[in-house]
Amino acid sequence: MLVRLAALALLLAFLLFPQSFAPLFAPLTQYGAPPIYDQGNLLQLALAQLTTVCIAAAASTLVAVGLGILVTRPEGAQFLPLSRSLVNVGQTFPPVAVLAVTVPLVGFGEKPTLIALFAYGLLPIFENTVTGLRSCPPEVLEAANGMGMSARERLLSVELPLALPLIFEGIRLSLVINVGTATIGSTVAAKGLGEVIIAGLLSNNTAFILQGGLVTGLMAVLLYEALAALERRFSRAVQLD
């Protein structure tokens, strides 16, 4: 716990007062290049990246959970095998490729990144929604039906709450992977920490590369831990055995 708070403090300190870390990064530069990224505000870039990731995650969640509910209903059951195959196939598409083919369609900037992150984020959430809904104990469903719950009431009061831990896990995984993937968005001019890294690559400035990479990595780890803590706080004791 202490480690996490310290990491968070370090991250915030760096983002708010980057120049104070200059001496730390100076040895990594050559020929007097600036040790701290100065072509943009690091805090703003970090927030921009986080915003993009969160918007994509919100959209992914809505669509993936909706689809997951659909294919586990009797009306949608015929789509289940296909959706499973699509999930398998979709996981083989590298996010870079998805990004690359959306650029000509929607132009540069935030949009292709959002689309790529949205598409890539669907899979863990959808997979977990389906698994979660299908692993509801059969006698609980039988009891719910026998008591006179309509299909909608059963879905909302029983099936979804029981599947929620797994769905949340999927959302968490998707979010964290996307934080890292979003850096590639900078290759298509999306605002984010990727541009720090790319600037470093272009000017051979290892300090920049480290800054971009470490901040992103730290953000990803802290997000993961924060969401885990959130889930623990809100979930009730659900023992399914």
Q: Which residues contact 54 (CB under 8 A, 6 or more apart)?
A: 175
Cα separation, 47 vs 55, in Å, equals: 12
| Closer Cβ to other proteins, 2 or 239, answer by number | 239
The 3-state DSSP class for residue 146 equals helix
Residues of this chain that bind other proteins (CB under 8 A) = 28, 78-79, 81-82, 84-86, 88-89, 91-97, 100-101, 103-104, 137, 139-150, 153, 157-158, 161-162, 176, 179-181, 183-184, 187-188, 194, 197-198, 200-201, 204, 206, 209-210, 212-214, 216-217, 220-221, 224, 236-241
Q: Least distance (Å) from other proteins to the CB of residue 119?
A: 13
| Closer Cβ to other proteins, 43 or 80, answer by number | 80
Q: Least distance (Å) from other proteins to the CB of residue 22?
A: 18
Q: Least distance (Å) from other proteins to the CB of residue 125?
A: 18
Q: Least distance (Å) from other proteins to the CB of residue 215?
A: 9
| Closer Cβ to other proteins, 125 or 222, answer by number | 222
Tokens 């992914």, located at residue: 60
- Nearest in space to 112 (alpha carbons), one of 8, 57, 175, 188: 188
| Closer Cβ to other proteins, 64 or 71, answer by number | 71
Cα separation, 169 vs 164, in Å, equals: 8
Cα separation, 56 vs 203, in Å, equals: 31
| Closer Cβ to other proteins, 2 or 237, answer by number | 237
Which runs of consecutive H residues, i.e. helices, occur in the chain? Answer: 2-16, 22-25, 42-72, 80-90, 95-106, 110-134, 138-146, 151-154, 160-181, 194-202, 206-234
